[in-house]
Chains A and B, each alone.
Chain A
Amino acid sequence: MVEVIDEELVRRVQKGDKKAFDLLVLKYQGRIIQLINRYVRDAHEAQDIAQETFIKAYRAMASFRGDSAFYTWIYRIAINTAKNHLASRSRRPTDDEIEVEVAEQFEGESSLRDQETPEGILLSEELGRTIQLALDELPGELRTAITLREMDGLSYDEIADVMDCPVGTVRSRIFRAREAIDKKIKSLTG
């Protein structure tokens, strides 16, 4: 499904609105980290690579033409960045070219590592569990609606077809599902 909202946010970034990029980061941070996790097990390293991915994506925004969906594009950047990290680990230190490349990739971002604490990641795990629990406690039709949207990526019209209800009902169910879960996690993310 075409994510028109992504295109709009990209358009804003290309006109100088950095805050629009923040919204893209918030939307895709989870997916990108989970993707990188497939290549890199270490939590710290995965976060570092994810950060690098987003920064690379930002820098390349001027040349993003919209030929592919934003997510597909950043997906590719994430995979390439993760692979480069794996490759740099296995090369011999005497290979100057690679050292420079690796150094360039990390330049300026090393300070980010210092701020990370294990506590930040543990909190995320608790957050994950709370969301899952809240999801399980939702009334059936709310859970179905939000799962069809988030897991299967169906549009509201498609969900309305599947659940045999008006689009307005789909909107309302998804919103109520989000609100019910949000109530439970708000205190954790503050």
Chain B
Amino acid sequence: MTDQEKDLRMRMSMLMDSDFDGRDNHRLIDAIESDAELKATWARYSQIGDVIRSSASGQMADKNFATKVSAVIAQEPTILAPKKLKALPNKRLSMATIGLAASLAMVAVIVGKSVNDHAEVFHTASYSQTHSNLMAAKYGNQVENQADSQFNDYLVMHNETAYMAGSAAMLPYVRVVGSGPGR
């Protein structure tokens, strides 16, 4: 084992016990999550604790237990509900930097239900048209103009930022340049 590997494992041992030394623990957690060997070590360290705590008849987790749970969760929607819980102490980076970088890099949005559940609530074209006709009858052109202008603003903003999202497109800005109002 290299010194670096040993240092990583030592830091992981401390991390498990919530003993933080002010170093970049966020990166350490990233490393544990993505490195199979480190993750397996995290698992074994946890098992050591389990055995120390177990009573005489204590049952242990099946060796594939965590893998099975992980497989089920992989099918689940991802959760997006960031809350202000107490954050990890870190002396190197400022909290704002971590907050933003970590949030945006890792955030994913998820669905609580299976997407298929929504099929029946999908509005038919005729419904939308009827609704829109009612609105138009009630408010006349006013609706359309205000809504149009608002909509165009959104469209422009979307096209400006879409390329940031890695929107696989040739010339992602082309819509910004190529779409005039009233189109």
Interface residues of chain A, those whose CB is within 8 Å of chain B, are 1-23, 25-31, 33-34, 37, 43, 46-47, 50-51, 54-55, 58-59, 61-63, 65-66, 108-109, 112, 115-116, 120-121, 123-125, 127-128, 131-132, 135, 146-147, 149-151, 155-156, 171-172, 174-175, 178-179, 181-182, 185-186, 189
Contact = CB atoms under 8 A, between A and B. Distances in A.
B13 A128 contact: no
Interface residues of B, number: 68
Nearest to B74: A18
A124 B39 contact: no
B123 to A, nearest CB: 27
A124 B86 CA distance: 35
Given A11-B87, A43-B59, A175 B50 contact: no
B83 A14 contact: yes
Given A15-B80, A15-B82, A120-B62, 17 more contacts: A7-B85, A12-B102, A16-B79, A18-B74, A22-B70, A26-B66, A29-B69, A34-B50, A34-B53, A46-B59, A54-B69, A108-B72, A120-B63, A121-B62, A127-B60, A128-B58, A182-B41
Q: Is the interface of B mostly helix, strand, loop or mixed?
A: helix
Contacts, number: 230
A25 B44 contact: no
A28 B32 CA distance: 16
Contacts of A19: 33-34
Contacts of B43: 26, 189
Given A4-B20, A26-B46, A27-B16, A61 B79 contact: yes
B17 interface: yes
7 contacts: A15-B106, A16-B78, A16-B110, A25-B65, A33-B61, A66-B85, A121-B60
Q: Is the interface of A mostly helix, strand, loop or mixed?
A: helix
A2 B85 CA distance: 13
B21 to A, nearest CB: 9
Contacts of B64: 115-116, 120
A5 B68 contact: no
B107 A16 contact: yes
Contacts of A109: 72
B86 A125 contact: no
B60 A124 contact: yes
Contacts of B81: 14, 61-63
